[in-house]
Structure 1
């Protein structure tokens, strides 16, 4: 097998649900490892979940292109695999154990050794490096950096995965190259001290469109300090220089007496990405699209708590996690059967009423709020529903919820009571018409049979889309949920 066909690049695959990028959380392999077909090689966080991606080929890891904490677009190469390592060595630089910044320059043969797997759509060429043999121009890792700065996590030590440089493929030069040859630049050849800088090996790092813009505006790129990845010069850098504004190397500062006490050194900036970014976008879109109405109902759930105790004591339920949320979920599912319009969505000129309930359960995780759902929950028995809730919560806490588990929800419950909160006014998940907030169960004085007694009490909050659900329907639905929780056994006998 030739070097051209045995070394293959594996691109970040399409993870579905319209996701266009993912952040590399953890590499599960390293350069030199022998891997099997479908072996998990990397854990990637998308805007919906963290997923493990399996290898497309068996073989030996030849190179890793992006380090942990880097956000990568779908279709971008992330790893190179030698699919026939027994055929002998390939002419590629060995990077295992090499210190960052001291990696060897790939040879002309190694530049041609990597076969790029086909992807949909064209990819913009990367930064221009020195001229390669044969009148072709080498680029940084085939595709160049993103237009936004790569986001990285601090590492405890050792060589970062991005230092395990790959042989860079060659592409036709999009513009005439400089007359003086210069070495090809790899990601590891950046300034070892972590500083940016607009040049590497005597060359200005800038993409062809940026070079053209600088030429049109009369800006000398060699005089600029880039603010882009690897110190590359961006369009904004050129435009600032043309307008006479301070460059990235000359930030505008304003003296302030309070600067010493309230400066940037006492601020912490957290990038908005992944699950939190998607949640923010969804909540903003929902809040300003669907007209929300929220109603509240306080319920005596003493009988429900006693019913749970009796359920836990049954032999066949002793290994099942039984919580108040189980009864709330059952109450919602039964109330939907009595009021189907609550389980619907607005589709512009029509209302889509679902005959199935994909019951969403809002879950707080380390990566932010996610809402996985139990598919067709209305068909489950009480025991099956309990098992499904347990599995959903454990999977979410482990960060293993898949994008499919968070898609297609029709109605949601958010259990704010676990935080000791009485209730809230939840925002609808996009595409749903109702969400129920379940508050904390507290012992409170309550009038029961004409006397004030200590009772177990909770407050429910129902937010709904007023385009679909009017006040009467929302009130009836919430009242039915409350009636079930007030006396589950009586409601089961009356409704089923």
Structure 2
């Protein structure tokens, strides 16, 4: 058995066919351990770190950062027994220019490629979602278009690989430059910076190679980029819905490539909008009692360290309403309707990568405290940019909280495979008729979009009414419904 093993880009699940290499976490010559993160890859749904399948020494890296690689393509070669002495033949030979190594036919013939079943990495891929659900973002479903690989400079053409080679044609490996610990770029421009920081630098027109990092191991932080921008637009502190000044060219136009989350969102939102017949209903609710109930909850000793927001009560209202109207939590499957007993409650989150919808698995079985903890963990993970594909798979019903942006309501588009999505608007003080008098009350507006093939007007109205009744008096509803 060959000691040199080639690791292919694993199938990250949920219909993905390619990923962009954001950063290499190792370099040629490094000794690595089993399951050590070796590369950070961004798909249309999440940025994930891929662990090593074997321990050993890195012999070759086949793609530089910024390259889009198809699933199953080799990305790195590892010597699994570096202590056994030198290889019988060099693993790479220098090109005429001497700057980039090219695999020799002899060395490639000795390389063992990971089998197809080895592409699935533990911890990276969630198992098949119950009911076959695969949509993970707002308007997202399995990818329906063919993936295209970006052209790579200097790639070894298929015809150049010798016939006796025992592995598929392998792209030309490259040795990524070692990022200096002070954050400055090497000659090839590699720096230590997270994907959101790189995006911010691009938006502000900042060359990361000129920035000194103040983060761990000399990595560049958002604050470093903002300081380097010297007068550029100030970005919001939280990594959600950031707005930066556009960089216009001489023609006073800016061209933004449509890729990643934005591309897949556009494809699936269009598909959903013109496939499922949408209906949207609205309900304005006096939530004064709900806000007082939240205040009392925050005052309880066992809840003082828990993040309590109106979204918690909205989520609980949705889950209880589903118990009364289970048909709302279903999927149109062509010749049948799949009604689900479990509720994987999706919460739309605006991040620097775009709008994603991680979901709380089997949320209907959680207590109110467990639901609060799950919401807090979901939001914090999304803001950090570390939401995994598994956390975004299998959603059955979604809430989008547009109220955090000061918006009253909206007509949300259904994520493919789901039959309902609720928009929760801003809570505002407004004049309201209460007990025969006009008083200032706290009021919000709910917007429910649903698939009219499954949910008719009566069912949709009753479901929305029950959510409104809960929010109008949550304590009474909890006593009556549970």
Residues 71 and 409 (structure 1 numbering): CA distance in 2 closer, same or farther, change over 3 Å? Answer: same
Query: What is the Cα deviation at residue 281 of structure 1?
Result: 2.0
Residues 328 and 128 (structure 1 numbering): CA distance in 2 closer, same or farther, change over 3 Å? Answer: closer
Aligned counterpart for 1:64 among listed residues 61, 64, 81: 61
Alignment of 1:363-402 (within 5 A): 363-402=349-388
Residues 384 and 105 (structure 1 numbering): CA distance in 2 closer, same or farther, change over 3 Å? Answer: closer
Residues 130 and 277 (structure 1 numbering): CA distance in 2 closer, same or farther, change over 3 Å? Answer: closer
**What residue number does 2:157 align with?**
127
**What residue number does 1:294 align with?**
280
Aligned counterpart for 2:47 among listed residues 4, 27, 50: 50
**What residue number does 1:31 align with?**
28
Query: What is the Cα deviation at residue 266 of structure 1?
Result: 3.4
Residues 403 and 140 (structure 1 numbering): CA distance in 2 closer, same or farther, change over 3 Å? Answer: closer
Give the conservation status (yes or no) of the 8 Å contact 1:39–1:54: yes
Give the conservation status (yes or no) of the 8 Å contact 2:22–2:65: yes
State how far apart, in whole Å, the 2-side matches of 1:486 and 1:283 are: 33
**What residue number does 2:4 align with?**
7
**What residue number does 1:75 align with?**
72
State how far apart, in whole Å, the 1-side matches of 2:189 and 2:8 are: 16
**What residue number does 2:426 align with?**
440
Deviations 1:98-157 (A, max 9, x none): 9x9723565564454533334489xx995167697xx87999971579xxxxxxxxx963
State how far apart, in whole Å, the 2-side matches of 1:314 and 1:286 are: 43
Residues 301 and 94 (structure 1 numbering): CA distance in 2 closer, same or farther, change over 3 Å? Answer: farther
Give the conservation status (yes or no) of the 8 Å contact 1:344–1:351: yes
State how far apart, in whole Å, the 2-side matches of 1:372 and 1:131 are: 43
Give the conservation status (yes or no) of the 8 Å contact 1:24–1:43: yes
**What residue number does 1:158 align with?**
186
State how far apart, in whole Å, the 2-side matches of 1:418 and 1:340 are: 28
State how far apart, in whole Å, the 2-side matches of 1:119 and 1:334 are: 44
Give the conservation status (yes or no) of the 8 Å contact 1:128–1:137: no
Residues 319 and 409 (structure 1 numbering): CA distance in 2 closer, same or farther, change over 3 Å? Answer: same
**What residue number does 2:38 align with?**
41
- Normalized against structure 1, the TM-score is what? 0.70
**What residue number does 2:216 align with?**
none
Give the conservation status (yes or no) of the 8 Å contact 1:63–1:81: yes
Query: What is the Cα deviation at residue 403 of structure 1?
Result: 1.6
Aligned counterpart for 1:303 among listed residues 263, 266, 289: 289
Give the conservation status (yes or no) of the 8 Å contact 2:102–2:172: no
State how far apart, in whole Å, the 1-side matches of 2:395 and 2:409 are: 22
Alignment of 1:76-475 (within 5 A): 76-90=73-87, 91-93=90-92, 102-103=99-100, 109-119=106-116, 127=157, 142-143=170-171, 157-160=185-188, 265-475=251-461
Residues 310 and 94 (structure 1 numbering): CA distance in 2 closer, same or farther, change over 3 Å? Answer: farther
Query: What is the Cα deviation at residue 42 of structure 1?
Result: 1.2
State how far apart, in whole Å, the 2-side matches of 1:411 and 1:139 are: 45
- Normalized against structure 2, the TM-score is what? 0.72
**What residue number does 2:138 align with?**
none
Larger Rg: 1
Query: Relative contact order (C-alpha < 8 Å, sep 6+): which is higher?
Result: 2
Residues 128 and 386 (structure 1 numbering): CA distance in 2 closer, same or farther, change over 3 Å? Answer: closer
Give the conservation status (yes or no) of the 8 Å contact 2:329–2:339: yes
Residues 103 and 68 (structure 1 numbering): CA distance in 2 closer, same or farther, change over 3 Å? Answer: closer
Describe the SS at the equivalent of 1:37.
coil
Residues 6 and 160 (structure 1 numbering): CA distance in 2 closer, same or farther, change over 3 Å? Answer: farther
Q: Which runs of 5+ in 1 are unaligned?
A: 146-154, 163-261
Residues 476 and 126 (structure 1 numbering): CA distance in 2 closer, same or farther, change over 3 Å? Answer: same
Deviations 1:45-91 (A, max 9, x none): 22222222111100011111112221111110011111111122331
Residues 117 and 334 (structure 1 numbering): CA distance in 2 closer, same or farther, change over 3 Å? Answer: closer
**What residue number does 2:206 align with?**
none
State how far apart, in whole Å, the 2-side matches of 1:344 and 1:131 are: 51
